A = this chain, B = another copy of it.
Amino acid sequence: MVESLTSSYKRLMDKVHDIIVLQSATAVVHWDMETMMPPKAVQLRSQQLAMLSRITHKMVTDSEIGKLIEAIMKHPDYEKLTEVQKRNVYLIKKEYDEQTKLPEKLVAELAKQRAITTNVWKRAKAAKDYSIFKPELEKLVELSKEAAEILMKVKETKTPYDALLDIYEPKMTSETVAKVFEELRVGLVSLLKKCETAPKQPDVSILKRKVPIEMQKKIAKEIARFIKYDIESKEAGGRIDETEHPFTTGYYDDVRITTHYYEDNFTSSIFSVLHEGGHAMYEQNLRREWIFQPVGTACSSGFHESQSRFVENIVGRSREFWVYFLPKLKEITGNILADVELDRFVHAVNQVKPSKIRIEADEVTYCLHIIIRFNLERNLFADKISVAELPQVWNQSYNEYLGVKIENDSEGVMQDTHWASGLYGYFPTYALGNIYSGQILEAMEKDLPDWKKRLAAGNFQDIKQWLIKNVHSYGNLYDPADLIRKITGKELTVKPYLDYLTQKYSMLYGF
């Protein structure tokens, strides 16, 4: 007798429920490592995380899941499933195929090599010596290529690199990325030149004033209050802690962000709280009824980044935000910023200046850093360049795109952890996020034409509700290309983002 569709579906979802619960517990263990763990526990913790990951992998690749998926998809009543149910089955199948098609041995080798390469990267970066890093990176890239080639067949992508890209940005192709990135590059380079040659230049000395860490913590709390990221009440579902590099982690009712306070760079933490707050907002506002289901997750890495950049830049670096927030900032910091004038401050936090370091980049140059990385990754996985050639191509690109001269590889090709951690195909999602954010802004302006006025009055709630309704609440029901169409009625396009930048920076720099 054929098992009923409902019963198979329920059994499948029960299995997935357990996996998701375990993953959310693992996130807590990971967060603890970054924030609270006594340093002596490093080794023990890596064993704990490896153990949890092995258990999860076993659960994800349980052949029972494969059988249930098949039973459901071949069931005569399959079409009677709802859209959400079908999407859940699709997402489970995608994950199952990805995880089961890779040989166990390769998965284990990759995990081991990732750990080794990350460790060596830290040492090499400290020593400013790429030659220490190179041999381990080569091994990791080779293993990753092997995996990518297998995934390419499973996913039927054009290239191995596309199969990696698809992990973070489902169905996105490197062809599309290359096309939009070229358009983006042209726009950004032109904008950068205009800013650099504009007569009106910002005075950034204000931003170097020393603000005591305790005050900065109060500012962070005030920002959390502003974006309604609850870290204080008896119903709070978040918290802010300190780490070297800010991040967001968690699930539904427990989504935590971190920041870093620099005494002589107080806006760093302001913008990182806004950025991570944007990520957290997304996770906290997925549909309640989708908890423990694959649809109850964010759409993609790119979409996640669209939300963080929206809150950090489109909101947080707007003049209107500071109309409301500068007085609060002055209140908290006493006489430190008492003489700061609104427009000078807004220009300062929007200074455009080519730099060597991606995470310090402004809105105009940021995506150029990403485009460089994308080109390198793509060529690396197409065997057009080698790991040995990376530094040279990197430095050349930085000179060409941004006009900066890289002095050593620690401020060059070794600045980010991504490649050392085996994340290939991830970088482009940062720029895609910015592009999405421009399209989302355009759509929002139709519904909330006076959003800036509301923002200046301290009302972020309406913007947030719009994002929840039009972005967050869709969860993972659609692939990115479908979701951006759903939200904006249009395909992926660079224009709104470039328009937003052009309008904003022409006002600021007066060109």
Contact = CB atoms under 8 A, between A and B. Distances in A.
Interface of A: 18, 21-22, 24-25, 28-29, 32, 36-41, 43-45, 47-49, 51-52, 55, 230-231, 233-239, 251-254, 256
Contacts of A230: 38, 40
A93 to B, nearest CB: 23
Contacts of A231: 38
Contacts of A43: 253
B252 A44 contact: yes
A141 to B, nearest CB: 30
Most buried by B among A25, A29, A39, A233: A25
A131 B380 CA distance: 72
A484 to B, nearest CB: 30
Contacts of A18: 51
Given A24-B48, A29-B29, A32-B32, A253 B55 contact: no
B24 A44 contact: yes
A230 B41 CA distance: 12
Contacts of A55: 22, 55
Contacts of A38: 230-231, 236-239, 253-254, 256
12 contacts: A21-B51, A28-B29, A28-B48, A32-B32, A37-B254, A38-B236, A38-B237, A39-B233, A39-B235, A40-B254, A41-B254, A44-B253
Nearest to A24: B48
A236 B43 CA distance: 13
A49 to B, nearest CB: 8
A21 B44 CA distance: 8
Contact of A36 (B36, B39, B48): B36
A39 B234 contact: yes
Most buried by B among A49, A235, A254: A254
A256 B238 CA distance: 23
Given A29-B28, A32-B28, A21 B48 contact: yes
A148 B252 CA distance: 40
Contacts of A239: 36, 38
Contacts of A49: 25
Contact of A41 (B29, B48, B237): B237
Given A32-B32, A55-B55, A25 B39 contact: no
A251 B21 contact: no
A127 B41 CA distance: 42
Nearest to A292: B47
Given A32-B32, A44-B252, A51 B39 contact: no
B236 A40 contact: yes
Given A24-B48, A28-B28, 12 more contacts: A21-B48, A22-B52, A24-B44, A28-B32, A29-B29, A38-B239, A40-B230, A40-B253, A41-B237, A41-B253, A41-B254, A45-B254
A184 B449 CA distance: 80
Most buried by B among A41, A230, A233, A234: A41
A45 B38 CA distance: 22
A52 to B, nearest CB: 6
Nearest to A284: B40
Nearest to A37: B254
A213 B234 CA distance: 22
